[in-house]
């Protein structure tokens, strides 16, 4: 859901809702995501952008999120970053329909025109940006692991179940 995508594009994995496997495989098969699908919030808080990481499977989205599945991965980093630009966000804002809740139609997403660089330039871009995105991805995973560790250890430290030795040296 839109509430699970933060403004910075990270996904809050802790509060996701679960659906029965049978519903996931049948009634929700059109909303099943694949790794590296790009996600754009199109209702409520419009314009949040994220993607499905490579280590996550069997996700569905609700109707407030559109997904873009690229035919070729070589376009992934460029398009993901373009979706975060002011130009794209202004395009979404110009196409908002005010109903019970503000929204942008899937047709508007499909009709968006994007000027793509040639293959040589795109290859150069990917070389430069891929290592940065890999580091970001590793940091997100490490941050999640450290958060879980903190949430496990802190209550034990506060209750006295675990004690820190007085002679512990931190470098």
Q: For the chain (length 171 residues), average pLDDT per consecutive 10?
A: 88 83 83 91 91 83 91 92 93 85 87 92 92 86 89 90 77 65
- Domain match, 146 and 105 both: no
- Domain match, 46 and 129 both: no
- Domain match, 6 and 85 both: yes
Q: Position of tokens 């859901």?
A: 1
**CB-CB contact of 19 with 28 (8 Å):** yes
Give the Cα separation of 54 and 34 in Å (integer).
Answer: 8
- Domain match, 96 and 121 both: no
Cα four-point dihedral sign 30, 31, 33, 38:
positive
Instruction: Please list, residue by residue across 63-89, b when 16 or more beta carbons sit within 10 angstroms of its beta carbon and e when fewer do.
Output: ebbbbbeeeeeebbbbbbebbeeeebe
Give the Cα separation of 26 and 30 in Å (integer).
Answer: 9
The CATH number of residue 20's host domain is 3.90.220
pLDDT at 171: 65
Tell me, yes or no, whether 168 lies in a domain.
no
Tell me, yes or no, whether 28 lies in a domain.
yes
Using a CB cutoff of 8 Å and minimum separation of 24, what contacts does 68-71 make? 68/37, 68/38, 68/40, 68/109, 69/34, 69/37, 69/38, 70/36, 70/38
Tell me, yes or no, whether 153 lies in a domain.
yes
Question: Each residue of 68-85: pLDDT tens digit?
Answer: 999 999 999 999 999 999
- Domain match, 34 and 80 both: yes
- Domain match, 59 and 134 both: no
pLDDT at 170: 64
Total residues found in the chain within this entry: 171
- Domain match, 23 and 102 both: yes
pTM of the model: 0.78
pLDDT at 68: 93
Tell me which residue range forms the domain holding 55. Answer: 2-115
When divided into structural domains, the chain yields a total of 2
Give the Cα separation of 76 and 74 in Å (integer).
Answer: 6
- Domain match, 51 and 107 both: yes
- Domain match, 109 and 126 both: no
pLDDT at 59: 87
Instruction: Calculate the alpha carbon distances from 101 to 7, 45, 97, 104, 136 in Å.
Output: 19, 10, 8, 10, 33
């Amino acid at each position: 859901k839109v509430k699970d995508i933060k403004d910075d594009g990270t996904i809050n994995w802790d509060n996701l809702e679960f659906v029965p496997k049978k519903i996931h495989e049948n009634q929700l098969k059109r909303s099943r995501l694949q790794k590296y699908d790009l996600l754009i919030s199109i209702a409520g808080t419009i314009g949040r952008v994220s993607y499905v990481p490579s280590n996550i499977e069997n996700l569905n989205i609700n109707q407030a999120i559109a997904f873009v599945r690229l035919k070729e991965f070589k376009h992934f980093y460029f398009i993901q970053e373009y979706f975060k630009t002011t130009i794209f966000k202004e395009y979404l804002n110009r196409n908002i329909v005010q109903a019970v809740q503000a929204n942008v139609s899937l047709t508007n997403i499909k009709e968006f025109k994007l000027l793509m660089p040639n293959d040589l330039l795109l290859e150069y871009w990917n070389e430069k940006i891929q290592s940065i995105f890999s580091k970001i991805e590793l940091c997100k995973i490490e941050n999640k692991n450290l958060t879980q560790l903190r949430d496990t250890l802190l209550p034990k430290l506060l209750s006295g179940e675990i004690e820190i030795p007085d002679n512990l040296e931190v470098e």
